[in-house]
Amino acid sequence: MMRLFSICLVIILTNSCKINREHDTNDDILLIEKAFNQLQYASAVKKFDYISKEKIFPRSTDKTGKLRLVDKKDWTSGFFPGVLWLMYDLTKENNWKGKAIEYTQVLESEKFNASNHDIGFKMMSSFGLGYKITNNKNYREILIRSAKTLVTRFNENVGSIRSWDHNKDKWEFPVIIDNLMNLELLFWAWKETGDSVFYNIAVKHAKTTKKNHFRNDFSTYHVVGYNSDSGKVVSKNTYQGYADESCWARGQAWALYGYTMIYRETQNPEFLKQAENIANYIINIASLPKDYIPLWDFSLLDIEKEPRDTSAAAIIASALFELSTFTEYNKTIYLQVANRIMESLSSNQYFNTLGENNGFLLKHATGHKPMNSEIDVPLIYADYYYLEALSRKIKIKNN
């Protein structure tokens, strides 16, 4: 019971990876096979008790290199099921589908978890992907319930969904840039149910964030604090960045991905323009290293001493691949940067060798540098967005 997740037993693969090679380029096939072998190493899991509240979802490694597991309430819990769904989608190997179903089902009770905004992260990467791939009607009902839970955190005076309930000594009503990602759940629910409440709340939050989270150069603040009664901005901080006026790399990545997704769902040109402005900051204003893998904060320049963040890089690559499909004007540069990021992430410098780091795909990610948490380690969401970026890259080529 105490070791539900068998810490990465080595699997000798006796069956070849049955990948559909009809359209994929050789390079993309090699990347899929590389990911297949590494994740297969990590996925030797024992059967677990669905009722158990123990920690079963891989998140990272600790300072000793030991696998760090979290329970279903953690904001990252949906990404491991998402990795499994993405591997099934890329390979059509039923082994991935079976594991994805098992881990996804454990998260069902989170559809009622209204304690923070992270329900979108958890449910869309697990049940959302699962519904897209399987059309499981039970998944649909779970997602609709999850969307109803998320909207309970919306404040009409502020025009935003509240992110956290903790740290009340710092923020009365905090909204973080990451919250944009959760809006995808609301847009999905609007399309599935026709209920405009979901759409209106998502758009209102997107516009409020657009108004208050960005500087003149379209770099981002991490946290904006509001007065919940008046809706007025009280504070602007970059809690996970180097300083309040610096640009936290993953926060900027969330913004790019968020407004790209919001344009996809609304077709409102103001959101496309916002995504393009955010991309312009990353590509032309921020200090990107030559290999395009950012330091944990864009405002830092010491490439030798400061840690990189492969999670930010993977999110940016995935977002740029999608953004390239919405514009002809900047299409080429978006694809060039996204492909350059993927080339670097897939190199030995950033991609773990077989069996390394408990079977995670990417190394050199940074979670929360100011809190000295998860620095220069693998992170499950880095792997998730890497695989999503690879999937988007292949689909663009196929089209």
Is residue 118 annotated as part of the catalytic site, yes or no? yes
Residue 26: count of CB within 10 angstroms of its CB:
8
pTM of the model: 0.92
Q: Quote the tokens at residue 344.
A: 């670097």
pLDDT of residue 43: 58
Do the domain assignments include residue 83? yes
Sign of CA dihedral 330, 276, 315, 245: positive
pLDDT of residue 78: 97
Amino acid at 5: F
Do the domain assignments include residue 47? yes
Provide the CA 394 distance to its chain's centre, in angstroms: 19
- Residue pair 244/236 in contact (Cβ under 8 Å)? The answer is yes
**384-398 as b/e: b if 16+ CB within 10 A:** bbbbbbbbbbbeeee
Do the domain assignments include residue 321? yes
Query: Residue 366 burial by CB count (10 A; 0-12/13-18/19+): exposed, middle or buried?
Result: buried
Whole-angstrom distance, CA of residue 279 vs CA of residue 302? 22
pLDDT of residue 399: 82
Whole-angstrom distance, CA of residue 326 vs CA of residue 359? 35
Catalytic member of 118, 297, 309, 383? 118
How many Å from the N-terminal Cα to the C-terminal Cα in the chain?
A: 47
Do the domain assignments include residue 14? no
Query: Residue 208 burial by CB count (10 A; 0-12/13-18/19+): exposed, middle or buried?
Result: buried
Do the domain assignments include residue 21? no
Query: Residue 354 burial by CB count (10 A; 0-12/13-18/19+): exposed, middle or buried?
Result: exposed
Q: Return averaged pLDDT per consecutive 10 residues of the chain, 399 residues in all.
A: 30 32 64 90 50 78 91 96 96 93 96 97 98 98 98 98 89 97 98 98 98 98 98 97 97 98 98 98 94 96 92 98 96 98 97 92 97 97 98 93
Do the domain assignments include residue 259? yes
pLDDT of residue 247: 98
Q: For residue 47, what is the DSSP state?
A: -
Q: Quote the tokens at residue 262.
A: 């919001």
Whole-angstrom distance, CA of residue 176 vs CA of residue 183? 13
Do the domain assignments include residue 10? no
Domain of 283, in residue numbers: 26-398
Query: Residue 295 burial by CB count (10 A; 0-12/13-18/19+): exposed, middle or buried?
Result: buried
3-state SS class at 82: helix
pLDDT of residue 16: 31
Whole-angstrom distance, CA of residue 113 vs CA of residue 259? 25
Q: Which residues, at least 6 apart from 81, have a Cβ–Cβ distance to it below 8 Å?
A: 100, 103, 104, 107, 125, 126, 129, 130
Whole-angstrom distance, CA of residue 232 vs CA of residue 225? 9
- CB hemisphere CA count around 55 (13 angstroms): 11
CATH code of residue 203: 1.50.10.10
- Residue pair 220/177 in contact (Cβ under 8 Å)? The answer is yes
Catalytic member of 24, 28, 178, 309? 178
Whole-angstrom distance, CA of residue 224 vs CA of residue 47? 43
Domains held by the chain: number: 1
Do the domain assignments include residue 11? no
